Amino acid sequence: MTDDDFKKLLEDFIEPEADPNPDTSHFQLRFVRDNPAYGSFHMHQKHQVSEHEVREVLLEIPPTVECRHDPDHPERKLFFGATRKRRQLLVVCDVEHEGDTTILVPITAFDADETDWRKK
């Protein structure tokens, strides 16, 4: 067994694969990686949120995720949920449609608590 094999086994043991969230299984994610104003680079640089954490909140269980339309931007959805490590995030996504597929484009994500979510 190589060191890389051992590392992969250890990572899988510490953080096993999560089940897909059936409530969001019809969504696909598309990350914008080349724009410092929004998307992956923005989330990481400004809020220290990774694409992996966004995937956990939007597509995996646990956790549960709550969703609603952004009242100021009808083409956007707001998601509130937790990562597997219980970091609570608010994820803001543009919504695109390609045929029957709904594509979420995360534009920002940041730490939030339930009080913040209830105020929105």
100, part of any domain: yes
**According to the model, what pLDDT value does residue 9 have?**
66
Phi-psi region of 99 (alpha: psi -120 to 50; beta: other; left: phi over 0): left
15, part of any domain: no
Domain that holds residue 52: 27-119
Closest to 90 in 3D by CA, of 42, 52, 57: 57
87, part of any domain: yes
Q: How many domains does the chain have?
A: 1
**Confidence band (pLDDT; 50, 70, 90) for 89?**
very high
**Confidence band (pLDDT; 50, 70, 90) for 94?**
very high
49, part of any domain: yes
Residue type, 53: E
10, part of any domain: no
Q: Is the pLDDT of residue 17 over 80?
A: no
What residues contact residue 101 under an 8 Å CB cut-off, 6+ apart? 26, 28
This prediction's pTM: 0.78
Count H helices and E strands in the chain, helices first. 4, 7
pLDDT tens track for 19-61: 667 667 778 999 999 999 999 999 999 999 999 999 999 988 7
DSSP-based three-state secondary structure for 74 = strand
Closest to 79 in 3D by CA, of 61, 92, 95: 92
Task: Compute the distance between CA of residue 62 and CA of residue 81 in angstroms, rounded to an integer.
Answer: 10
